[in-house]
Amino acid sequence: MPNILKITDFDAPELDIYARLSESQLLHYYEPNGGLFIAESPKVIERALDAGCEPVSFLLEWKHIAGQARDVLARCGTVPVYAADSDVLTRLTGFPLTRGMLCAMRRPRLSTVEHVCAGARRIAVLENVMNPTNIGAIFRSAAALGIDAVLLTPACSDPLYRRAIRVSMGTVFQIPWTFLDGADAGWPQPGIRRLQNLGFQTAAMALREDSVSIEDPRLTAAEKLAIVLGTEGDGLAPCTIADCDYTVRIPMSHGVDSLNVAAASAVAFWQLGVRHGT
């Protein structure tokens, strides 16, 4: 039975996580025992619940309690549900709620690189991709186009930022992922060596004269392939490109020299994803 609580005081401390705390503060909310993230919309929240994420509280419009939020709330027992009309919630949060529903959830513990890559044939590695919208779009393409896992360097935007989750349509809860961090998993040299020790050939997506075409049959024939994508604007670091097994480019026309990293990821995943593998 949902525990419905009418919002009467904007300054109530239990609403801080929705109204006054930054993404960084949510990340460290329960230090040293992890933090929180905010999932938005019933579909996305359902995918988070399916992945085993633990809800802490909900924020939603009154009209959705018996409507589109009903099934989600039925899964969550007596978790507090803070409710108000749409205009009240927009004033509280500073933005209109997608599908009228937010959920604060405990952040899951990050897996190891080995665990994330176990059984994977195609993975994406993101180097310093800092825009949450791009992160979300890359995850959505990864889920749709045959990528088994995603690894991120420490400077990447967090896949559990609210905007990244929303743009991904909740696929951040369906694709295994973790950060490449620590002395033995840092980037680029230790991380690339670790992937190679796990049996992956590495393909750096970069615009260079010595690049091979994305249609090169060696890429689709690779039993295990890591597709490495770089930051917005600058692309991959030269040392990353030098350490990878292949440098790969997407053929362009009409004088276009590059694609946004999210668009490039979709092209690369379509061509190199497991559905094309041997």
Q: What is the pLDDT of residues 21-35, one digit of tens each?
A: 999 999 999 888 889
- Helix ranges restricted to H, the chain: 16-19, 23-27, 42-50, 70-74, 86-93, 113-117, 132-144, 162-168, 189-197, 217-221, 238-243, 261-272
> With left for phi above 0 and alpha for psi between -120 and 50, is residue 262 left, alpha or beta?
alpha
pLDDT at 258 over 90: no
Q: Cα(60)–Cα(160) distance, rounded to whole angstroms?
A: 20
Question: How far is Cα 146 from Cα 257, in angstroms, rounded to an integer?
Answer: 26
126 forms beta bridges with 152, 229
- pLDDT of the residue at 184: 56
- Measured from the Cβ of residue 119, the count of other Cβ atoms closer than 10 Å reads 8
Is the pLDDT at 277 greater than 70? The verdict is no
Question: Is there a contact between 266 and 141 (Cβ–Cβ < 8 Å)?
Answer: yes
pLDDT digits (tens, 9 = 90+) for 208-239: 878 999 999 999 999 999 999 999 888 999 99
Q: How many Å apart are CA 74 and CA 95, to the nearest integer?
A: 26
pLDDT given at position 182: 62
Per the DSSP assignment, residues forming a β-bridge with 212 are 248
Mean per-residue pLDDT of the chain: 92
pLDDT score at 275: 60
* pLDDT at residue 257, rounded to an integer: 73
CA distances to 124, 233, 235, 249 from 207, in Å: 18, 12, 9, 6
- Transcribe 9-72 into DSSP letters: -TT-GGGHHHHT--HHHHHTTTTTS--EEEEESHHHHHHHHHTTPPEEEEEEEGGGTTTTTHHH
- Residues 8-19 pLDDT 10s: 898 999 999 999
For position 276, what pLDDT does the model report?
47
Residues in CB range of 53: below 8 A, 6 or more apart: 39, 105, 106, 108, 173
Residue 278 confidence (pLDDT): 43
Taking the CA atoms of residue 152, residue 153, residue 158 and residue 163 in that order, the dihedral angle to the nearest 10 degrees is -70
